[in-house]
Amino acid sequence: MPRFVVPSGAKRSRGKLLETLLGFVNVFKPAGPTSAQTLARVRRVYGVYAGDRSIAAGHLGTLDPQAAGVLPVAIGKATRLIALLTDQRKAYAGLLVLGRSTTTQDALGDTIATGDVPNDWERRLRDAIPAFLGRIEQTPPMHSAVHHEGRRLYELAREGKQVERRARGVMIYSITLLGVEPSVARLRVTCSEGTYVRALFADLGEAIGTPAHLGGLLREASGPFVLAEAFTLEEIAANPSRALLPPEYVIPFPTIVLDLRNVVDFRAGRVVPLPQGAPAKHVFVRDESRMLVGVGETHGALLAPRKVFS
C-alpha cells in the first residue's frame, strides 16, 4: 500500500510540512468514544505534528459511540476532496439480539418491550431477509445525529421529545447470516451511506415476530477504507506520517505533472495545456517536486482547474 511518508530526519520548514499533511487516515474507532471525540484526538495528533493546532480535519460518516471500526478522516486540505469520494458503500458486522426492543434500538437504551422468541426464529429470519434487500425506506431514529430545526435528534430525544421524521431511501446490497446463538444472530450487512443498521435490525425482529435490538456493531469497511488496514489512535500518535494516505489511494483519479510555468497558471485559475493525452475526465495535478497542486478537469487537450491548493 502506498504511504505518504515524511522522511524522518529531514529538515522541513513548518510551511512545507503543512503542505505535505494532505491526505486521509483510516482510523480504527474503539467502542465508547463518539466519532467527534475520535476526530478531535486525530486532529490533535496532526496539529502537534505540524505545529499548527488549527489544522483542518473531518470524518467521513458518523459511527455511533458503542460501535467500533473504520472511521475515515481527511487531514488538511484533503477535507476539500471529501465531495469527490464516489464509493460510499459501507460494510458492517452486527449482533441481532431477539426478545427485547429499546428506546435507542441498541443495547444502551431503556427497554420498551420484551417478548418470547419463536422456536423457528432462524428460519423466519432467513425467510425475511430477501424483503430487506435493494432499495428500502428508513425513518431516522430519534437517537441519531440528524438535524431537526437546528438541533440534533438525539438532543431532543434526551429531553423526552418526539418529532416527525421524514423517511428516506437507502440501499441494502446484502445481508449475510454469519452464525447463530440462542436468541442471537450474527449478521454482515453491506449498504449505502446513511443506512441505520439499528433500525434495520429492529425491523428484522419485527418481521420475525419478536422485539429486537442491535447488540453490537463493527464497521468493516467504508468505501475504499477497510478494517484490516485501519490504524489505532495509539499507532497514529506514534507515527503520524505512516498513517497518512495520499489522495490517489482513496480517490481513483490518475495523476499528471505540470512544469513550473503551467503550475503558476493552474494555481491562478487559468486553463493550461495537457502535457499528454487526457487519461481521464478528472486528474490530480502535481508539480515537478510531486507536491499536490489540485484537481483538474480535462477538456480535449486542455486542463481546467476544479480545486486548487495554494
Positions annotated as catalytic residues are 64
For 105, phi then psi, to 5°, come to: 65, 15
Cell (9 digits) for 299: 477538456
Pick from 71, 144, 135, 48: which is nearest to 103 by CA? 144
CA–centroid distance for 140 within its chain: 18
Q: How many CA atoms lie within 13 A of 216 on its CB side?
A: 10
> What does the radius of gyration of the chain's CA atoms come to, in whole angstroms?
23
Question: What count of other Cβ atoms lies within 10 Å of the Cβ of residue 206?
Answer: 13
